[in-house]
Every structure is written in C-alpha cells, then in structure tokens.
Amino acid sequence: MKADMDGRATPRDLRVLVIGGGIGGLCLAQGLRRAGVDVRVYERDAAVHRRNQGYRLHISPEGEQALRECLPPEAAALLTATANSRYGYGMAVYDERLAEQWSPRFTDPRADDPDKVDAVDRVTLRYVLLAGLDGIVSFGKQFTGYELTADGEVTARFADGTSATGSVLVAADGVNSTVRAQCRPADRPRDLGIRTIFGRIPMADAVRDGLPGTLQDRFTWIMGTDGHKLGLMPMVFRVPPEEAVARLWPGLVIEESEDYFMSVFSMHRSLLGMPDEELFAMDGARLWELVRERTARWDPHLRRILAAASTDATFAVAVRATRPIEPWEPGPVIPLGDAVHAMPPSGGVGANTAVRDAAVLCRALVAVERGAVSLEAAAASYQGEMLKYATEALNTSLEVARWSLGRNDLDDLDDLDG
C-alpha cells in the first residue's frame, strides 16, 4: 500500500486483477475501465457462453442503477434494448389444478418507465457486460491460488502455469470461490436442503401448447400439495438481441435468443428420494422426466407446457446461503458477489447485490487511485457498506425461500436465527 510518512494516501497507479468474469466481475471491470483504472479479468470458462446460464435474471431498481453507473452509455443502451418487456410488477400463486390462490402486486419506484430494466436474459447480459472489454478479459484462465509479495502486491496463479501480478485482487469467482477457499476456508455457504431444477421453455411452444393467458405475463408460482413447487417467469425481449446489436453496436458479437419462460421446480431433498450424486448426474432429459413424474397429477395445461421444455438448458442446483456474511481482512484481496454472500435464487437478488458491490467497490478503488484514501481504508469502507445491503438482501431471499418452500423445509437456518 502506498502512503506517505504520515500515513496519508497518495495517488497511485493501480492494477486490479479480477478473478471471475461473471456478472459482478465484468460489471466492476466496466466501471474501472470507464474511470481509467487498469483492470484485467481472468475467467475460467473457455468462452462467453457455456451451458446452464440461459436463464432470466430479475433486476431490482438498485441493481439497474448500479449497472447504469458502471456501463458506458452505448452498453447501457444495449442493456435497455434487450431487457424484458413483459413484466407486471406482480406475482400470481396457483395450486396444482390452476386455481388462483393469491396475486399480490408490488410497488416499483420505476413505475411504468418504458426504459426500465426489470429482468434480463443472463447470457445476453454477459455479452452486454463484455462489450468493449476486448483485451481486458482473458477466457480459459482458471485461477488456482495467490501470494502476497514483499512489496504489498498480489500474484495470481493459473492452472495453465501462467501468473499475473497486481495491486488488488478481487474475488469475483462466485459461490464456489477458490480465492475464498484459500483465505477464508470456514466461510463456505451452507446447504439449505432445497434442490431446484432450472429449465427453459420456449415461449412460442408454451403458448401454442395452451398456457393460460394469466400465466403469460407475470411471475407465477404453482404450489403442489405434496411439497413440489414450480415457478414460471417470462422473458420477452424488447428487441431480439441480434437486432439490438445491429442497431446500437454493429459488429459486436452477441448470441441470438428467443422469448422463453424460465422454469424453477423445487423441493426439499427429503422429497427427492435419491442421493445428490444421482440428481446431479442426470442430464436434461432425465431431469425433465423427473419433473414430469412429480407433476403427473397436475393440471393438463401445465403438463403440456412442461413437455415443451428445452432439455439442453436444464440443470439442477443445491440452494445455499452464506450466513452470517462476514467482511474479509481489509487489504489487497477484496471479495465481491456470491464469493462473499451466496443467497438463494428465490429472492432474485444475488446478481443485483453483486452489481451493487461492483459499483461501490469501483468508487472505492477510484478514490485509492486518486490518492483520496488508502487501499485498506477503501476495502474496509466498501465492505462496511456491502455488509448492510447484502445482509438485507440475504434476509429477503431467505424469507422468500421460506414462504415459497415452507419454513420447515429449510435446513440449517433455525440455529442461525438468533
């Protein structure tokens, strides 16, 4: 850390190494690049799109604000153009025979703003977050460990035998963070006992196959009487991603996508009747067989649309949460996103919290580069702010998980409530 004899910070040229080119890491890279800070991102995946990411993300007002703060105007325009266009800020709850139980409305400070971004396709978002980062993001770089150097820098090592040295190392490597495993091995997220099968149902097929109109434009939950639950969330692109790119950023590579429903089929592991190894070894076709078996007595409309699912975009997840969320030692290794605060996807807040981290950390690192504050003080103040909103987001997502799955269905929480 660079400070003068009185301990005051002085301007310095930072080099920020970001481990993980997911939602939070790329958002941070955009913000730092925009502010002129030297940043490099190292991503394990060989390429931008890998299987099991083709789902929809709810974007909160705070998440949208953070994305807009970090993205340059051209990328923000792409974000707006490719957002979801059909989302009443409400939810409908049905039983398995499709009898409506409850349909709460939520307030959204963005009201009917035609440009609001309240849901996006995750793969499209990743392309938007990568726009303009050529030469900054390296794919196929699996981080394996780091060392602190004698002069206060950090060296990151990769599985291909290469290494990189910088002044800051940001752990943006997600829920199974390798950085966290090295420096805070006890902070592993806890298993909440929920097993979820995520899938994607092409919208045209679902509608053609008779999905009732009431289920087509909002977030819907189907609560099975035997403890199985199904969520259906529409993703209707405002403009197809390839058209948006042709208009707003000709030449940029983006993947084509069609409108779809994200489906979320959840149950407690005690209902599964099989060990995790068996569940996680199943391919998409077998996972859908399992869903169909478990919904055999549900309303025929629902069964028909489940039959329209794309099996190759299906995957199972064990829902986990980091609780309590704890700050890391303030210094050159700084965490962001799921690496420090994993939360159940039920709340739709994990990615929003990761991009908020990116915006707050970006401001903190820019202040270090300008000499307004030391790196240790910036890391501490970022984490102080993050702990407040991330704990709130975690509690919200746990509440939603309790509500949607039944309080007694969550493992490992009661002992944490006090």
- The binding site for ligand FAD (CB under 6 A) comprises 19-25, 42-45, 55, 57-58, 141-143, 172-174, 178, 198, 317, 337-339, 345, 348-352, 354
User: What's the closest the beta carbon of residue 342 comes to ligand FAD, in angstroms?
Assistant: 7
Q: For 198, how many CA atoms within 13 A lie in the half-sphere containing its CB?
A: 17
Looking at the Cβ atoms of 189 and 345, the one nearer to ligand FAD is 345
Q: From CA 130, how far away is CA 1, in angstroms rounded?
A: 30
Looking at the Cβ atoms of 96 and 338, the one nearer to ligand FAD is 338
User: What's the closest the beta carbon of residue 136 comes to ligand FAD, in angstroms?
Assistant: 15
Looking at the Cβ atoms of 178 and 220, the one nearer to ligand FAD is 178
Looking at the Cβ atoms of 9 and 137, the one nearer to ligand FAD is 137
**Other C-beta atoms lying within 10 Å of the C-beta of residue 192:** 25
Looking at the Cβ atoms of 155 and 371, the one nearer to ligand FAD is 155
Measured in whole angstroms, how far is the alpha carbon of residue 384 from the centre of its chain? 21
Q: From CA 89, how far away is CA 105, in angstroms rounded?
A: 6
Q: From CA 338, how far away is CA 172, in angstroms rounded?
A: 7
Looking at the Cβ atoms of 179 and 375, the one nearer to ligand FAD is 179
Residues 6+ apart with CB under 8 A from 310: 199, 200, 201, 202, 284
Residues 6+ apart with CB under 8 A from 151: none
User: What's the closest the beta carbon of residue 358 comes to ligand FAD, in angstroms?
Assistant: 8
Helix (H, G, I), strand (E, B) or coil at 339: helix
Query: 300 preceded by cis ω (within 30°)?
Result: no
Give the nearest residue (CB) to ligand FAD: 22
Looking at the Cβ atoms of 183 and 246, the one nearer to ligand FAD is 183
User: What's the closest the beta carbon of residue 55 comes to ligand FAD, in angstroms?
Assistant: 5
User: What's the closest the beta carbon of residue 96 comes to ligand FAD, in angstroms?
Assistant: 22
Looking at the Cβ atoms of 45 and 209, the one nearer to ligand FAD is 45
Sheet holding 168-171, edge to edge: 137-138, 38-42, 15-19, 168-171, 333-335
Judge whether 242 and 256 are in contact, CB under 8 Å.
Answer: yes
Looking at the Cβ atoms of 268 and 320, the one nearer to ligand FAD is 320
DSSP 194-228: EEEEEEEEEHHHHHHTT--GGGSSSEEEEE-TTS-
User: What's the closest the beta carbon of residue 244 comes to ligand FAD, in angstroms?
Assistant: 21
User: What's the closest the beta carbon of residue 32 comes to ligand FAD, in angstroms?
Assistant: 15
Query: Which segments within 256-297 are labelled E, that is strand?
Result: 260-268
Taking the CA atoms of 120, 124, 125 and 128 in sequence, report the sign of the dihedral they define.
Answer: negative
Determine the length of the chain.
Answer: 418
User: What's the closest the beta carbon of residue 210 comes to ligand FAD, in angstroms?
Assistant: 26
User: What's the closest the beta carbon of residue 10 comes to ligand FAD, in angstroms?
Assistant: 31
